[in-house]
Amino acid sequence: DGGITQSPKYLFRKEGQNVTLSCEQNLNHDAMYWYRQDPGQGLRLIYYSQIVNDFQKGDIAEGYSVSREKKESFPLTVTSAQKNPTAFYLCASRRPGQGNQPQHFGDGTRLSIL
Amino acid sequence: AQSVTQLGSHVSVSEGALVLLRCNYSSSVPPYLFWYVQYPNQGLQLLLKYTTGATLVKGINGFEAEFKKSETSFHLTKPSAHMSDAAEYFCAVSANAGGTSYGKLTFGQGTILTVHP
């Protein structure tokens, strides 16, 4: 079955450490997204990518970086510059075109500080 | 610019009772509207969407929503709640701006639905 796989499910970061969250999709979707979810705040967009080798900052990009070298993969790096990284991170993808195509989500990665 | 307001961060109903989750949006262009459900420690699952056409939209698990342009609302309802409906629900809006868009979604803050036996 097609879907979005996020790994790991749980991740712990030490002070000053960069960590990378994996997101892989086999839906043949062009667009991919990373969201951060905090209790009571909904989902906030970190980065998004419409096509390979192109990505754009979302609303809260500071302290994060991404790459899009393959259509299937959109990894997110949480850098040491992100001072409050503890959150639930969700990756999504969608078919190209108008905004009427829904986004499909992975099962998330929960990041905590050691 | 777009925004979404979900009225009520927590809603509690009895099993078998009507479920009503409220969503109001703001958009400078005609919107596309979505409802998603999230179970604990999982991703979001699409319940239903409004794009164009019929304003009453039916989704999965017996849910439906009505787009009311005059009220800028897209409330989610279900006639009879089940215990399995307990989850967090998110309303989201995407711009119908014409031409190619990035499909960016703006989410509400979520409503946690509790169902009592």
For an interface test with A, the pick among B3, B100, B104, B111 (most A C-beta atoms closer than 10 Å) comes out as: B104
Distance CA A46, CA A57 (A): 6
Q: What is the pLDDT of residue B99?
A: 44
pLDDT digits (tens, 9 = 90+) for A69-107: 999 999 999 998 888 999 999 999 998 766 778 899 999
pLDDT digits (tens, 9 = 90+) for A5-62: 999 999 998 888 999 999 999 999 999 999 999 988 889 999 999 899 999 999 999 9
Q: What is the pLDDT of residue B85?
A: 97
pLDDT digits (tens, 9 = 90+) for B11-49: 999 999 999 999 999 987 788 999 999 999 899 999 999
Closest-CA residue of B relative to A4 is B43
Distance CA B95, CA B103 (A): 7
The answer to whether the CB atoms of B104 and A45 lie below 8 A apart is yes
The reply to whether A56 touches chain B by the CB within 8 Å rule is yes
Closest-CA residue of B relative to A97 is B100
Q: What is the pLDDT of residue A27?
A: 94
The answer to whether the CB atoms of A99 and B104 lie below 8 A apart is yes
The B73-78 sheet, strands edge to edge: B2-7, B19-27, B73-78, B64-68, B56-58
